[in-house]
Structure 1
Amino acid sequence: MKFRKICAVLLGAVMVMSMAACGGNSSETSTDADAAGSGDAKRVCFVARASADTFAAWMTEEMKKAAEGYDDIELTCVSGEGDDNTENGLLEDCITKQYDLVIVQSNNNAAQAPYVKNLVDAGIPVITTNPTTHQSDLDGSDDDSVMEGTGTVDADPVAQAQVSAERAVEEIPENANVVVLRGPSGNYHAEKRREAWDTYFFDKRDDVNILYEDYANWNSDEAMTLMESWVQAGKHIDAIISMNDNMAAGAIEAIRGDSDYIKDGKASFLAYGVDGTAQGCLLIKEGLLTSTALQSASELAEKNMEYAEKVLNGEMEITEVNDYVDAPEINADNVEEYIQIYVDNGEISDDGTLAAE
């Protein structure tokens, strides 16, 4: 299946449980190199949440590209593979290997928070990104400020979901049956996007019936499995509300061959995502995804590397790092503009397919 082939390629996009360097200036190849680094370059580790997560894989590739612009930084990329114990082990490993700075993309904010604190206590500067780690994640309080001693580069998950939720108020038919695909439990972006859908859609459309709702953990295969089960139950699904593009893509793939949902290339359902990935944009062009909000992995990566260098060079304190990217809406009216961006950066081929195919 074409979709599964795409996913298989993406699975290799992030280094799995490896401390091999991914920046263009690194020569880390052994335990001794991990401990000592090479030359005067500062050693930075990016801990991604999962290689099966399309956005995390995209961000890892963008981190690699961004790192090429810094001769004074060696970047290593590792993946927690969507497992809290694995990611926590990698964070502990960053202390053992004495990295100069660590950039953390948590799978579960509360689960990773104590390990982020361990890094801070060890004197290692930490930037949390996509999502931010908050003080409340560490101590269970109501304090939503950035965790003490850390910096952040992120996007606003409420704004990301709001752009599609507000248009869905007008688009989703009366008394519609909808399904909701959620990201990992405990993940800040996953929870806040879901809350935004309550605020900006469900609270305004009490006629809409949530037929099914479940966690697909940002994963397309999990979303596909859920959707296959929900469709078999017999009730027509009028809209797919997904907390990211990857899960929306999996759900759409589950009904791609079902004439009750797609006939003569025309969809009889609506679908909403977040991230504005290359895959999401192609689905919008195809008429199968209604809208999404861009979360630019490129911009996040560039900002992370920019602030990492400034911190390492003493130009700013880690706690002064606090920056957020915008969340513009992508829909059928403007999708070609974003597709061209992906063609220009090589993620979409000139023939209009994902470059990973």
Structure 2
Amino acid sequence: MKTPIRFTALALSMLLASGAAMAADLKVGVSMSSFDDNYLTGVREGMVEHVKTFPKGDGVQLQFEDARTDVVKQLSQVENFIGQGVDAIIVNPVDTASTARISKAAIEAGIPLVYVNRRPDQKDLPKGVAAVTSDDEEAGRLQMQYIADKLGGKGSIVILLGDLANNSTTNRTKGIKEVLKKYPDIKIVQEQTGIWLRDKGMTLVNDWLTQGREFNAVLSNNDEMAIGAAMALKSAGTKPGSVLIAGVDGTTDGLNAISKGDMTVSVFQDAKGQAVGSVDAARQLAKKETIEQNIVIPFKLITPENVKDFK
């Protein structure tokens, strides 16, 4: 009679061990501002690839939700994650000025929260909250300095702004204008929002050309609007390269545009770096480990000379 009991105990211990291993996988809810954004698609894919590298039984299960650029929907998604009892939450905020309620909900539930790509506007993040971003002012400075050098310190420029509710727009533009302080002979003749979209960037530039506005360069807060600008200029019969075009992100389409000569320069925003950083931060916080609250992934300048290094 002892043998069946011994086998039963062994089977029970194996079952418990298996259950413990399965339970060790952390559940992380991820709310992205928009699945349609090309750059953010790279961030999302980077997260999926990174979790594959974790050892079995000590991994992360990701649950993605698309906020569809809706602040209310995003808050609801975070509340649903909390209701499901996830171990951590990652948020790419729709509106960086409207994150207080998201942070409050996660903190009150005792669930670690990591913002990715876009940092909340508040200066100091609460305990249990981290941000994995890049210095957007640096992106603006890098692209503007390159264009200023190409223009020889003289000329007229237009600026394609991202979503005005996003501090990436504010800070990238601030970086551009910081550099312009050194170049009084470079003038801004137009500055409007294309809300990150290619077709909107194309429409704005087409309108300016139709109005007879003259400019030597387009400074865009992202690659998508920069590509739209290039399309408008090409459609208007503008000689390729006669108007310099600068973007930010280093998306696949952006890199191809530089290779073809449609864009002049971009600034590489490391989607994979942000993806890895945010998942690692969420995992460490869920394990009660101490981490840096503000994790900054550096930008890099992409030119026709080094574009092949980013493909």
Q: Identify the TM-score tier after normalising by the shorter chain.
A: 0.7 to 0.9
Q: Which residue of 2 aligns with 1:279?
A: 253
Q: Which residue of 1 aligns with 2:155?
A: 176
Q: Which residue of 1 aligns with 2:168?
A: 189
Distance (whole Å) between structure 2 residues aligned to residue 86 and residue 227 of structure 1: 32
Tell me which structure has the larger Cα radius of gyration. Answer: 2
Q: Which residue of 1 aligns with 2:197?
A: 219
Distance (whole Å) between structure 2 residues aligned to residue 48 and residue 172 of structure 1: 38
Shift in Å, 1:175: 5.5
Alignment partner of 1:295 is 2:269: yes
Distance (whole Å) between structure 2 residues aligned to residue 220 and residue 321 of structure 1: 33
Question: Does the CA contact (< 8 Å) of 1:52 and 1:219 recur in 2?
Answer: no
Shift in Å, 1:241: 0.6
Shift in Å, 1:148: 4.2
Distance (whole Å) between structure 1 residues aligned to residue 135 and residue 274 of structure 2: 12
Q: SS state of the match for residue 256, structure 1?
A: helix
Q: TM-score, normalised by structure 1?
A: 0.75
Distance (whole Å) between structure 2 residues aligned to residue 149 and residue 156 of structure 1: 22
Q: Which residue of 2 aligns with 1:256?
A: 234
Equivalent pairs, count: 287
Distance (whole Å) between structure 1 residues aligned to residue 245 and residue 282 of structure 2: 37
**TM alignment of 1:61-210, pairs within 5 A:** 61-70=45-54, 71=56, 72-134=59-121, 136=122, 144-172=123-151, 176-201=155-180, 203-210=181-188
Q: Kindly provide the amino acid, as one letter, of the partner of residue 133 in structure 2.
A: D
Alignment partner of 1:327 is 2:272: no
Shift in Å, 1:96: 2.4
Distance (whole Å) between structure 2 residues aligned to residue 108 and residue 128 of structure 1: 12
Question: Does the CA contact (< 8 Å) of 2:33 and 2:94 recur in 1?
Answer: yes
Structure 2: tracts of 5 or more residues without a match: 1-21
Change (3 A) 1:256 1:312: same
Distance (whole Å) between structure 1 residues aligned to residue 36 and residue 209 of structure 2: 24
Q: Which residue of 1 aligns with 2:3?
A: none
Q: Kindly provide the amino acid, as one letter, of the partner of residue 294 in structure 2.
A: N
Distance (whole Å) between structure 2 residues aligned to residue 226 and residue 322 of structure 1: 35
Change (3 A) 1:115 1:313: closer
Q: TM-score, normalised by structure 2?
A: 0.85
Structure 1: tracts of 5 or more residues without a match: 1-37, 137-143, 340-357
Higher relative contact order (CA closer than 8 Å, sequence separation 6+) = 2
Query: Once the two structures are aligned, what percentage of the paired residues are identical?
Result: 23
Shift in Å, 1:330: 0.7
Between Structure 1 and Structure 2, the one with more helix by share is: 2
What is the CA deviation profile of residues 118-139 of structure 1, one whole-angstrom value per residue up to 9, with x for unaligned ones?
Answer: 11221110011111224x2xxx
Distance (whole Å) between structure 2 residues aligned to residue 327 and residue 200 of structure 1: 16
Q: 1:305 aligns with which of 249, 274, 279?
A: 279
Change (3 A) 1:205 1:305: same
Q: SS state of the match for residue 69, structure 1?
A: coil
Distance (whole Å) between structure 2 residues aligned to residue 222 and residue 83 of structure 1: 19
Shift in Å, 1:40: 4.1
Q: Which residue of 2 aligns with 1:43?
A: 27
